[in-house]
Structure 1
Amino acid sequence: MERDANAQRCLVTGANRGLGLALVRQLLARGGRVIATCRQPGKATVLNVLAGEYPGHLHVAPLDVAEPTSHAALALELPLLTDGEPLDLLVNNAGVLHGGERYGSVQAVDLEASFRTHAAGPFLLTQRVSPLLADAARVVNISSELGSIALRREFRSPSYAIGKAAQNMATVLLSHALRTRGIVVVALHPGWVRTDMGGASAPLDPQASAAALLEVIAGLRAEDSGTFLDWQGNTLPW
């Protein structure tokens, strides 16, 4: 069944810039009520301006997705931010990319940071807030084609790729854990997006990617849970 983003209650992580910020803007424009998280809300100037423009519809909250104690603090605050209403959409978007990695000099600290941010963090956060999700809610893990084992043809961005591959497994496991409640969990590749992470050469504007992703999300069906899709709704190989 197609779902409209209008009036939905949404939680978006990594929302202070890039794709996360674009998703927040578009969810608000569609009438959604959004909780936008980032590590330092006091420095999230654009989000705080948006909160003033959408009073009562946007709350900016602190979250370090790599830290389970931060998940717990957010879970305690969420009922206050949603007036006790359940969440319809959770977008695990926060990400980290360590550029310039070369074989022979990949650092354990970078691998660990990627795993905690891209795989363990979204898995544990979803687990923590799942009692606050509506039945038939959507959980979206912003993945990447770089996390596809089948598509790899070169040594590139190993920490990021390994973290995203692990995130894809977390997506499938979460889909099984939440299936009985009708909650759909998917991994979505947003395309190569022109952000701080994607770089200036990327062909996709963040707003265009965000709009396409929201269309895919709105059209998700129960049978789509546990799949890996791109921003155009095409299935990607694991």
Structure 2
Amino acid sequence: MPAHRSLVTGANRGLGLEFCRQLLARGERVVAACRQPGRAHALNQLAGDHPGRLHLLPLDVADAKSRAALVAELPLVCDGLDLLVNNAGVLHSGERFGAVPAANLDDSLHTNATGPFLLSQALAPLLADGAKVANLSSRWGSIAELEAFRTPSYAISKAAQNMASALLAHGLRERGIVVLALNPGWVQTEMGGAGAPLSATQAVASLLQVIDAATLADSGRFLDHDGQSLPW
């Protein structure tokens, strides 16, 4: 059953923006969170096209005060959540062995792993029983598939996020809440680049099919955008 009330983080561009577009097209109510809503021009235009169904809230997922403010403000615009899409993320490119900055690791872990985990934990009381939590992961977080030294701050943080997804699945299971770690594939976004094979439209349409079809038996799984299991 499709969600009716959704929260999407990192909603100002790329996959987050496309999630908002497609959820609104299905007739749903969406809360879009990003660091600077006032500068999110495409998101504000989308809000104008869907009056009363798209609300913008500020969120820096890596910041404790920002997460707390979102949790406090959410009930003012939404009476609960059927879907939480933890999409906000960061990728520090160009890292080389022997010269990986500690700041990159700290930022990546806070933004990609601990931030989404703590946000999900804080939002748990607002999640409806039977709701779904979709954590946007990456094949680069798969230890089993690792073939080379590449972007360690991203890879380490996504592997940590995968564990966070598995833990959340256990923590929320008794309420029937499904938690998924999802690989969107290589997508034409600012992060993925113009040469990627998938458009954001295609990737999000596929991901929503996987989310819609998921049952409690799938909770805690690491799935590709086509619904196939990925190795940890």
TM over 0.5: yes
The alignment's TM-score, normalised by the length of structure 1, stands at 0.97
Q: CA deviation at 1:69?
A: 1.1
Gaps of 5+ in 2: none
- 1:81: which partner in 2? 77
Q: Aligned partners of 1:200 and 1:96: how far apart in 2?
A: 18
- 2:45: which partner in 1? 49
- DSSP-derived class of the 2:194 partner: coil
**Residue 177 (structure 2) aligned to one of 171, 176, 183:** 183
Q: Aligned partners of 1:173 and 1:222: how far apart in 2?
A: 14
- 2:54: which partner in 1? 58
Q: Are 1:16 and 2:9 counterparts? A: no
- 1:196: which partner in 2? 190
Q: CA RMSD in A?
A: 0.6
- 1:115: which partner in 2? 109
- 1:235: which partner in 2? 229
For residues 79-108 of structure 1, give each alpha carbon's deviation from its aligned partner in whole angstroms, at most 9, with x where no partner exists: 1111xx210000000011111100011000
- DSSP-derived class of the 1:4 partner: coil
For residues 23-76 of structure 1, give each alpha carbon's deviation from its aligned partner in whole angstroms, at most 9, with x where no partner exists: 110000001100001000110001111111100100011000001111110011
The alignment's TM-score, normalised by the length of structure 2, stands at 0.99
Q: CA deviation at 1:227?
A: 0.3
Q: Aligned partners of 1:64 and 1:29: how far apart in 2?
A: 26
| Number of residue equivalences | 232
Q: Aligned partners of 1:200 and 1:46: how far apart in 2?
A: 19
Counterpart of 1:95 in structure 2: which amino acid? G
Q: Aligned partners of 1:54 and 1:15: how far apart in 2?
A: 15
Q: CA deviation at 1:201?
A: 1.1
Q: Aligned partners of 2:77 and 2:29: how far apart in 1?
A: 10
Instruction: Flag as ranges the 4+ runs of structure 1 deviating above 2 A.
Output: none
- 1:151: which partner in 2? 145
- DSSP-derived class of the 1:75 partner: helix
